[in-house]
Structure 1
Amino acid sequence: MDHLTSRFRRNKRESPTTPTTQDPWPASPTTADTKPALPSLSITTTPLTTPPGSSNGSHSLLPRSPLRSFNQFRAAHKRARSPAPAHINISGIMSSLSPVETPTEELMTPTERAKKPQIPPFLKLSEAKSLHPDFRFARVLSPETKVLDRYANIQPWANNRVRLPVPEGKLDYINASPIASPSPLRPDTLPCLNYIAMQGPKGNTVEHTWRMVSQLKSPAVIVMLTDICENYMEKCYPYFPGIQAQEIEIGQTDEFGDGFHARVECVSQEEKQDGAIQMRKLNLHVDGRGDITVWHLLYRRWPDFGVPRVEDYSSFFELMKLSRDLNSSTDNPRIIHCSAGVGRTGTFIALETLLREIDEGAMDDVDAELSDDDDDLVFRTVNLLREQRRTMVQADSQYNFIYTVLRRRWLERHGLLDDATEHERAPKRLEVYHDPFIEHND
């Protein structure tokens, strides 16, 4: 048997030795920025600050532009799809590679030296110098503000956010951004449209919302573009009273220690446009300051991640007209919100801005010989909104909806709307898979 078993006996092999190398992927450093918050409500662009109470710095520095390609809109989730890429230590990687023999500068002829490619000057800058000097696109991220955000990936830009009027040293954060949308064609003759784009309030931010509203002129307007619940998920907490509901008391816990106390009651409620618009007249009474009339317009025909149907266009236009007519003045910003305050909210603001250009005749003089890429007013307008709040106009169906509505309005104005256009259908809404463990925003 020995001669049989020896045929199947394997010789032991020596395991090869593996040389150790230094890890070329070191942990990336972090950058922080702190500055005391202002004690009063601000609805204009302000310098970058850190919310009070955060000693570690609360801003995420974004080295890339937030203005992503509009051809690649994606549905946002409760959590970001992937973490930001770590900064790579190029010198560490290059040192582990075999050097390539190249002639030194001294040995080169003038002709060879002239042909040698030169690195662009801006690529020689360090990371700190290449970032925007005022951290323009830094988001407000801190443990204190995290519980106040409805979605983990939607925060206002740190230097363009509304600040609550609270005592110094108290957290003045609310997930809301001041938005200025000027006329792209007639900025000298048409007034700038002013808004506050905010997330749908949560249960723990209801009092913050009304504290912000108390700083507006009377009458004020709130446009709500989402239902309370959609697809079995809460999209917005019911922060307003109904006609038969009890008034809402604000400031009972004295969260900020300043004695602010107010009451919100519903004076009247009516349905418009066959139930598409639910219009409430609210009265906000602030102790020691008096009453503020607040018109609350709830639009109920705009599906999440989608657009209104063609047959609902008239009610959508009526919503815009009501919000303008009921507001005290163009200087008084109207509050627009959906769930995250970026998708439907951004679409509403962009459309209202550009529809005014058509109605005022500003687009009648646009040179029809220009190519599509020469001066796209839709792109310019949405681009400007995204510089003031991230991810405004979130889905590609919403972006296409802006073109569809503007084209129809322009054809109607000039009597060119034919039967085929009259019966066109709005783009199909994006079909979003609703994982029960993932909450989607706009």
Structure 2
Amino acid sequence: MDHLSSRFRRIKKQSSPASPATTLAGSPPDRSPLESKLNTGGQREQPAVVPPTLTIPTNQPPSNPPKSPFRRGFTFRHSNKRARSPAPPQQVPPVPAIVSQDGIVEHEKPTTIKDEDKNGQGITKEKPKPKMPAFLNLSESEIESKFIDLTWAERMRLQDSFNNPSPTYEFARVDSMEVKRLDRYANIQPWANNRVKLQVPDGQQDYINASPIVLRSPFNPESKPPHRYIAMQGPKSITTGHVWRMVVEQLQSPAVIVMLTETLESGMEKCFQYFPKVAGEEWDIGEHDEFGDGFRAQLSCVSVEDHANGAIEVRKLNIHADDREEDMIVWHLLYRKWPDFGVPALEDIDSFLELMRLSREKNAHEDNPRIIHCSAGVGRSGTFIALEHLMRELESGDLDRFGPKQDEPEDDIIYNTVNRLREQRRSMVQADIQYAFIYQVLRKLWLEKHGLAVEDIQEPAAKRLEVEHNPPDPFFEDPE
């Protein structure tokens, strides 16, 4: 990455009065740009090679975040509505209290083990400390560099799709003006050959902005079932019926929809209110017979419950399709604590993990895809999917098969997972703060699993780096 070296410059560490910020585990008062980004929701994470000790800021107004170097270069323009640029930074801390995917709180592991000496006498000795996988021990600049690599890999896929216009090409683009009115954002579309197709009569438009996602275990793909999702863009009013038609056609009862955005954020519509909101409310779906095949359904809200102190709204919905013998149950889980353009706050991480648990628990079975959506269906949705998938590898113990000496990026399963997501849907895990958040959460989960603290991982601290400020790039606009 020699071309990146000119974009970084060393910062001479200066002494300064203690910050008024509340400090966790003795973290230093002066912070690097990426550390500040994760602690405020729009700036950057601590650069230490060791898993960073993190600082929660006070209510001081955050400064404008520096732009990453990769946000320069593209000059394409569209007249269609485009996703907004990132909103002002939110207060975001690092990572979570730890609950496993089965809801079991991890306790500190024993630090001693029983053994025998050479005479067969029983002895107790200190348990050897496990080695943290190297990809969890990256510095902020290395994580930033990998995100830039992911961005360029996607640019190359897009460039190849221009040079190879064949409709059978793996990364062929959806190239139809007819469907653009159905998209919430003109620059966020599924790959043409990896999209959900509605089961409509020949000659009718089968498009919906949704992509099937399959992630297999990087360690035991034969013994572990793949994770299956449908990543969907937040519907518009004209696509509400399309969503419920997709649910009836693609899912089994009981089905699950995870919604990671409010319908309105910062005064803008992020997702149309596509579901009945209160118990007893009923809707008719397909009454205008848009596709000319007589598809009709009745959608009703059976109940509404709050979970995790109001962070999660759980709706039980019922769908009766006229051409189906049995009704479908759909669990709609609305998560209300993920800030626009950010990541969940420290005090909200438990509810975020609870959301994951509920979505698995209420699904019919593992082969039944869960619909995950936010506004564009790439940023928050991709982060949720990637993190849940990788947590399974951590909890099963398979992640510890990675020793401390693997190469990059081939042995970085975070990088590989996000790249695989982007091969299935463009721009997944869209923002650099979301990408860094996955590393940060998994570091914390790994330490908690092994009963270790940051200081137990003896590695030299990385030198502090500052990312050069760049002018805004109007092409790279983050809808999440």
TM-score by length of 2: 0.61
One-letter identity of the residue aligned with 1:316: F
Q: Which residue of 1 aligns with 2:479?
A: 441
Q: Which structure would you say has the larger Rg?
A: 1
Q: Which residue of 1 aligns with 2:416?
A: 380
Equivalences for 1:359-370 in 2 at 5 Å?
Answer: 359-370=395-406
Deviations 1:375-414 (A, max 9, x none): 1111000000000000000000000000011111111110
Q: 1:349 aligns with which of 362, 385, 399?
A: 385
Once superposed, which parts of structure 1, at least 4 consecutive aligned residues long, lie more than 6 Å away?
127-130
Cα deviation for residue 131 of structure 1 reads 3.4
Secondary structure at the aligned position of 1:369 is classed as coil
Distance 1:257 1:178 in 2: 26
One-letter identity of the residue aligned with 1:330: E
Which sections of structure 1, spanning at least 5 residues, go unmatched? 1-69, 85-126, 422-432
Equivalences for 1:154-303 in 2 at 5 Å?
Answer: 154-215=188-249, 216-244=251-279, 246-289=281-324, 290-303=326-339
Does the CA contact (< 8 Å) of 2:161 and 2:173 recur in 1?
no
One-letter identity of the residue aligned with 1:261: R
RMSD: 2.8
Q: 1:320 aligns with which of 342, 356, 364?
A: 356
Secondary structure at the aligned position of 2:327 is classed as strand
Cα deviation for residue 137 of structure 1 reads 1.6
Q: Which residue of 2 aligns with 1:406?
A: 442
Distance 1:322 1:292 in 2: 18
Cα deviation for residue 295 of structure 1 reads 0.3
Distance 2:328 2:199 in 1: 17
Q: Which residue of 1 aligns with 2:373?
A: 337
Cα deviation for residue 141 of structure 1 reads 2.6
Cα deviation for residue 417 of structure 1 reads 3.6
Higher relative contact order structure (alpha carbons within 8 Å, sequence separation ≥ 6):
2
Alpha carbons of structure 1 residues 419 and 376: separation in structure 2 relative to 1, 3 Å: closer
Does the CA contact (< 8 Å) of 2:318 and 2:327 recur in 1?
yes
Distance 1:374 1:144 in 2: 40
Does the CA contact (< 8 Å) of 1:222 and 1:335 recur in 2?
yes
Distance 1:227 1:419 in 2: 39
Alpha carbons of structure 1 residues 129 and 213: separation in structure 2 relative to 1, 3 Å: closer
Distance 1:243 1:300 in 2: 17
Q: Which residue of 2 aligns with 1:131?
A: 164
One-letter identity of the residue aligned with 1:318: E
Percent identity reads 58
Q: Which residue of 2 aligns with 1:394?
A: 430
Distance 1:237 1:314 in 2: 27
Alpha carbons of structure 1 residues 149 and 358: separation in structure 2 relative to 1, 3 Å: same
Does the CA contact (< 8 Å) of 1:163 and 1:174 recur in 2?
yes
One-letter identity of the residue aligned with 2:290: E
Does the CA contact (< 8 Å) of 1:233 and 1:439 recur in 2?
no
Does the CA contact (< 8 Å) of 1:345 and 1:393 recur in 2?
yes
Cα deviation for residue 363 of structure 1 reads 1.0
Does the CA contact (< 8 Å) of 2:262 and 2:336 recur in 1?
yes
Distance 1:366 1:342 in 2: 28
TM-score by length of 1: 0.66
Cα deviation for residue 418 of structure 1 reads 5.5
1:311 maps to 2:344: no
Equivalences for 1:66-105 in 2 at 5 Å?
Answer: 82-83=76-77
Alpha carbons of structure 1 residues 157 and 129: separation in structure 2 relative to 1, 3 Å: closer
